[in-house]
A and B are shown apart, each in its own frame.
Chain A
Amino acid sequence: MNDIRVRLSQNAALLTAIAIFILSYVFYNMNHPRGFSVAVLIQNSNEVFTLAMVAMAQTVPVLMGGLDLSVGAIMTLVNTIASHLLNGSPLQIALGMVISLAAGAACGFVNGCIVVYGRIQPIIATLATGAIFLGLALFLRPSPGGNVDDDLSWAATNDLYEIAATYGYAQNGEAAWFQPISWIPVPLVLLVLVAVLVWLPFARSVTGRTVYAVGSGEGAAYMSGLPIDRAKIAAFTLGGFFAGIGGLYLTLQTSSGNADIPQAGAYTLNSIAAVVIGGTSLLGGVGTAIGSIFGALILRTISFNFRIFEIDPLMQPLFEGVVLLAAVSLGAFRVLRVKNTLELFR
């Protein structure tokens, strides 16, 4: 019983984010003419996936106490790379996907090495590398365009049925056992897969634990004999990998590559907002990438609601800002409960 209380109180921010998302998403569907339909769900998941990835990418350096200003740029660079490679034979396409993801991870690795061996603060190191990544992206795609395999693009951005039908699995999606799950949108499946197969194992690895430890107190982490340099490089590399998944998906979603600099910036800033809304402390040490997914979901649900209520889209940044402030203020409520003001500074 005591354990449950401890767990609840330690995950209060995450639980709040989940609750806010569920409420706002149900509200959206209730007001949508075709609410609670698979078509709406597929469209929404497509719109959410890339930001969710970039938000996860941002979470890892933030847990370590740093900020990564290059996540949007990595996403954009991978987008331009993938727009050249995702075509040809299945083998070529598969290779193209591997190269794209590897490029994302490599960008993160470079960030990590600069931070660790250059002893430069993450925020400034990634400001610089982000500009470089965008420069490379512009070089690869001076103007929007690209050649992306149509089948893959179609299959990746619809429900599971379309994957089966496109590639001839499960009797072209007609198998009886497949029916209960055939409606699930592919991006949602991917999101869960990435969270379960990449994030959760990472968080339970010694390297992942070290990332939390560095964010909580680097000196103590060092004195505990933890592999700090390795963890820092791993954190940025994993961040780059997540951003790369985002860039790859963006390519499939838009069937093209576009070195869109304002878009890269917007994704970076939204990723930070998503991380904070998801309950991760910007000081590091506390939080999880799962929370950031919900942070991204909340941000996107806001814009969904804007669409159906036909509010002037120009109002959207203002509203998102208010939500961000509200989220941060929720976290600040603990301040009111603290009876020993000295604890506020610890």
Chain B
Amino acid sequence: MSTAQRDPIQAHVQLTGVTKRYGGVTALDNVDFECELGSVHAVLGENGAGKSTLIKIMSGVVQPDEGEIRLNGTPVSFSHPAAANAQGIVCIFQELSLLSDLSVADNISIADPPRRFGLIDGKAQRRRAEELLARIGCEDVNPMSRVRDLPLSRRQMVEIAKALAKNPNVLILDEATSALTAADVETVFDILRRLRDDGISILTISHRMHEIEAIADKCSVFRNGRHIETFQQGARSEGEIVQMMIGREITAHFPPKPPPPDAPKPMLQLEKYSWEDKLKSIDLSVGAGEIVGLGGLDGQGQKELLLGLFGVLKGTSGQVTVQGKAVDINSPQDAKRAGVDLALIPEDRKTEGLMLPMSIADNLTIASLKRLSRGIFVDGDALTAAVEDGIQRMQIKVGSNSDPVSTLSGGNQQKVVIAKWLMTDPKIILLNDPTRGIDVGTKQEIYRLLRNLAETGASIIYYSTDYEELIGCCDRVAVMYDGEIVRELQGDEINERNIIASALKMDEAAE
């Protein structure tokens, strides 16, 4: 490429020959990449493809070992995130960067609060927060509330407001829409389009193809730390893109569904199950070998239903019957005891799924120590065997079993969480959005695994924010709205149109 001849669109951020190694692993390998003014550029790739490292380098979290970054043609180097912010490069990270004990207004202005006489001007800060929240359609959030007290989807919107407060000219979104409701995603996309039209470069990482189709102008695919190809959005088919990402043909996204069994033996039955104002008289029955999806907009009680079943919520009412016996589950300890045999793959693997500093082996066996013990002592041989078995079964890519689990990639961490619970031989498996922020390859492994588990007689309740997964994986889908199940879809009824229609509680006559 010659620099003398430029396209009419000027390259805004340009990376040349950028390489980054972590120990022996090359995360980015001699990458050339550019991001133009006034466009939305999607970066695609599996976990470990180098996407995260790319944006970490661009936003100053890590420094490249080799190569050069140019901003409007001038070489730059960022020693820390604030240095990148100062140049107008702002990143919304996948792991929320909000301070949960501080107020929404504090958080939005955290990097550069409005000041009077050198001190933070609370009133001005609040006005600023109100303006930004209004801009992203979050007037319902009180700027004085602590972030701790907000639901996840609101927190993510606050995160976006915080990024906008920095007046970015390059905005990077790392899975920033993963916890948002469908309505919020639309609002965010509208804002992104407006920012793009104002000449701001936007770089987005997402695993949701339909979102990329909706927003991106250009796409770049990364694989194994290399930049494979950049193309205009729409120039490549979904199949071609997936092919580029994983480097092998994928025949089907989802494993085939078996024909519905005549009358499956009911494994779990709920009658008039209620909690606070979040769950309203839920009736649901899940048979052995069935995968039942929970659908609907985010925050309609799906998570609470799973948490309630797992004994995390206090004060639930109604009847829970497991394998024909009425049970009373008051804690996760109750939930996993013999006869109930529940497992919950939680929403947030970093805080609820794993003990990050502990080893892979410890994490794998932590839920089944009782069955791996003789007397009061843990049986070392049984433990080793169980760990080997778990790693084999889930095909977790590990260096050594004794490495901290935090050293694994996101997808492999999630596999550890799942393997940990499979080790308890659960009869009923609850999954709370298990594929959030996970690469396509691992997602497909999880889909296959769920089907295999179902075939061996397990019952699965699967909450996903991604309609495609519900359609592809589930035998039945219960769509929730405001704490109630508004519709159960079965067989061919399970399609996007029906799910969305019920999620919005639209008239069923729309069929």
Instruction: Using C-beta atoms within 8 Å of the partner chain, give the interface range for chain A.
Output: 20 to 34
- Determine whether B314 belongs to the interface, using a CB cutoff of 8 Å to chain A: yes
- Determine whether B351 belongs to the interface, using a CB cutoff of 8 Å to chain A: yes
Q: Is the pair B110, A6 in contact by a Cβ cutoff of 8 Å? A: no
Known: A3-B142, A346-B148. A204 touches B99 (CB 8 A): no
Partner of A285, one of B101, B313, B351: B101
CB distance from B112 to the nearest CB of A (A): 8
Interface of chain A residues 191 through 210 with chain B (CB within 8 A): 201, 204-206, 209
Complex CA distance for A269 and B310, rounded to whole angstroms: 41
Q: Which of A209, A224, A225, A345 has most B Cβ within 10 Å?
A: A225
Complex CA distance for A342 and B307, rounded to whole angstroms: 9
Q: Which of A205, A338, A339 has most B Cβ within 10 Å?
A: A339
Closest chain B residue, CB of each to CB of A224 = B110
Interface 0/1 of B115-149, CB less than 8 Å to A? 10011101000000000000000000010111010
* Total of A-B residue pairs, C-beta within 8 Å: 94
- Determine whether A168 belongs to the interface, using a CB cutoff of 8 Å to chain B: no
Q: Which of B81, B82, B99, B144 has most A Cβ within 10 Å?
A: B99
- Determine whether A286 belongs to the interface, using a CB cutoff of 8 Å to chain B: yes
Chain B residues whose CB sits within 8 angstroms of the CB of A346 once the complex forms: 100, 148, 351
Known: A223-B81, A341-B312, A342-B352. A209 touches B120 (CB 8 A): yes
Complex CA distance for A342 and B115, rounded to whole angstroms: 38
- Determine whether B201 belongs to the interface, using a CB cutoff of 8 Å to chain A: no
- Determine whether B395 belongs to the interface, using a CB cutoff of 8 Å to chain A: no
Q: Is the pair A212, B122 in contact by a Cβ cutoff of 8 Å? A: no
Known: A225-B80, A226-B110. A341 touches B313 (CB 8 A): yes
Complex CA distance for A342 and B81, rounded to whole angstroms: 32
- Determine whether A69 belongs to the interface, using a CB cutoff of 8 Å to chain B: no
- Determine whether A216 belongs to the interface, using a CB cutoff of 8 Å to chain B: yes
Interface 0/1 of B36-48, CB less than 8 Å to A? 0000000000000
CB distance from A59 to the nearest CB of B (A): 15
- Determine whether A34 belongs to the interface, using a CB cutoff of 8 Å to chain B: no
Complex CA distance for A341 and B314, rounded to whole angstroms: 7
Interface 0/1 of B84-112, CB less than 8 Å to A? 01000000010111111110001000110
- Determine whether B238 belongs to the interface, using a CB cutoff of 8 Å to chain A: no
Residues of B in contact, count (CB < 8 Å): 40
Known: A3-B144, A205-B118, A341-B314. A224 touches B97 (CB 8 A): yes
Q: Is the pair B142, A216 in contact by a Cβ cutoff of 8 Å? A: no
Q: Is the pair A217, B80 in contact by a Cβ cutoff of 8 Å? A: no
Q: Is the pair B110, A212 in contact by a Cβ cutoff of 8 Å? A: no
Chain B residues whose CB sits within 8 angstroms of the CB of A212 once the complex forms: 99, 101-102
- Determine whether A89 belongs to the interface, using a CB cutoff of 8 Å to chain B: no
Chain A residues whose CB sits within 8 angstroms of the CB of B463 once the complex forms: none
Complex CA distance for A346 and B149, rounded to whole angstroms: 11
Q: Is the pair A220, B97 in contact by a Cβ cutoff of 8 Å? A: yes
Q: Is the pair A217, B99 in contact by a Cβ cutoff of 8 Å? A: yes
Known: A201-B119, A220-B98. A339 touches B276 (CB 8 A): yes
A contacts with B: majority SS:
helix
- Determine whether A110 belongs to the interface, using a CB cutoff of 8 Å to chain B: no
Complex CA distance for A219 and B356, rounded to whole angstroms: 14
Known: A204-B120, A205-B118, A217-B100. A341 touches B81 (CB 8 A): no
Complex CA distance for A281 and B118, rounded to whole angstroms: 27
Q: Is the pair A224, B111 in contact by a Cβ cutoff of 8 Å? A: yes
Q: Is the pair B119, A204 in contact by a Cβ cutoff of 8 Å? A: yes
Closest chain A residue, CB of each to CB of B80 = A225
Complex CA distance for A286 and B102, rounded to whole angstroms: 8
Chain B residues whose CB sits within 8 angstroms of the CB of A338 once the complex forms: 314
Interface 0/1 of A303-346, CB less than 8 Å to B? 00000000000000000000000000000000000111110011
Q: Is the pair A340, B144 in contact by a Cβ cutoff of 8 Å? A: no
- Determine whether A37 belongs to the interface, using a CB cutoff of 8 Å to chain B: no
Interface 0/1 of A219-260, CB less than 8 Å to B? 111111110000000000000000000000000000000000
CB distance from B104 to the nearest CB of A (A): 10
Chain B residues whose CB sits within 8 angstroms of the CB of A281 once the complex forms: 101
Complex CA distance for A339 and B279, rounded to whole angstroms: 13
Chain B residues whose CB sits within 8 angstroms of the CB of A225 once the complex forms: 80-82, 85, 111
Q: Is the pair B312, A216 in contact by a Cβ cutoff of 8 Å? A: no
Q: Is the pair A220, B99 in contact by a Cβ cutoff of 8 Å? A: yes
Complex CA distance for A212 and B110, rounded to whole angstroms: 11
- Determine whether A279 belongs to the interface, using a CB cutoff of 8 Å to chain B: no
Complex CA distance for A88 and B81, rounded to whole angstroms: 53
Known: A220-B96, A340-B307. A213 touches B102 (CB 8 A): yes
Complex CA distance for A224 and B80, rounded to whole angstroms: 10
- Determine whether B275 belongs to the interface, using a CB cutoff of 8 Å to chain A: yes
Chain A residues whose CB sits within 8 angstroms of the CB of B276 once the complex forms: 339
Chain B residues whose CB sits within 8 angstroms of the CB of A6 once the complex forms: 142, 144-145
- Determine whether B113 belongs to the interface, using a CB cutoff of 8 Å to chain A: yes
Q: Is the pair A213, B312 in contact by a Cβ cutoff of 8 Å? A: no
Q: Is the pair A222, B81 in contact by a Cβ cutoff of 8 Å? A: yes
Chain A residues whose CB sits within 8 angstroms of the CB of B98 once the complex forms: 217, 220
Complex CA distance for A217 and B98, rounded to whole angstroms: 8
- Determine whether B61 belongs to the interface, using a CB cutoff of 8 Å to chain A: yes
- Determine whether B247 belongs to the interface, using a CB cutoff of 8 Å to chain A: no
- Determine whether B315 belongs to the interface, using a CB cutoff of 8 Å to chain A: yes
Known: A3-B142, A346-B148. A206 touches B113 (CB 8 A): yes
Complex CA distance for A17 and B283, rounded to whole angstroms: 47
Complex CA distance for A87 and B65, rounded to whole angstroms: 61
Chain B residues whose CB sits within 8 angstroms of the CB of A171 once the complex forms: none
- Determine whether A10 belongs to the interface, using a CB cutoff of 8 Å to chain B: yes
**Which 10 pairs across A and B sit closest by C-beta, in order of nearness?**
A225-B82, A285-B101, A216-B101, A216-B99, A223-B97, A204-B119, A220-B97, A225-B81, A204-B120, A224-B110
Can you offer 27 A-B residue contacts whose CB atoms are under 8 A?
A6-B144, A7-B144, A10-B146, A205-B119, A206-B113, A206-B120, A209-B120, A212-B99, A213-B110, A217-B100, A217-B101, A219-B97, A220-B98, A220-B99, A223-B61, A223-B81, A224-B162, A225-B80, A226-B82, A285-B99, A285-B100, A338-B314, A339-B275, A339-B314, A341-B331, A342-B352, A346-B351
Known: A201-B119, A209-B110, A224-B99; 4 extra A-B contacts, CB below 8 A, are A215-B101, A216-B100, A221-B99, A226-B110
Chain B: residues with CB nearer than 8 A to chain A?
A: 61, 80-82, 85, 93, 95-102, 106, 110-111, 113, 115, 118-120, 122, 142, 144-146, 148, 162, 275-276, 304, 307, 312-315, 331, 351-352
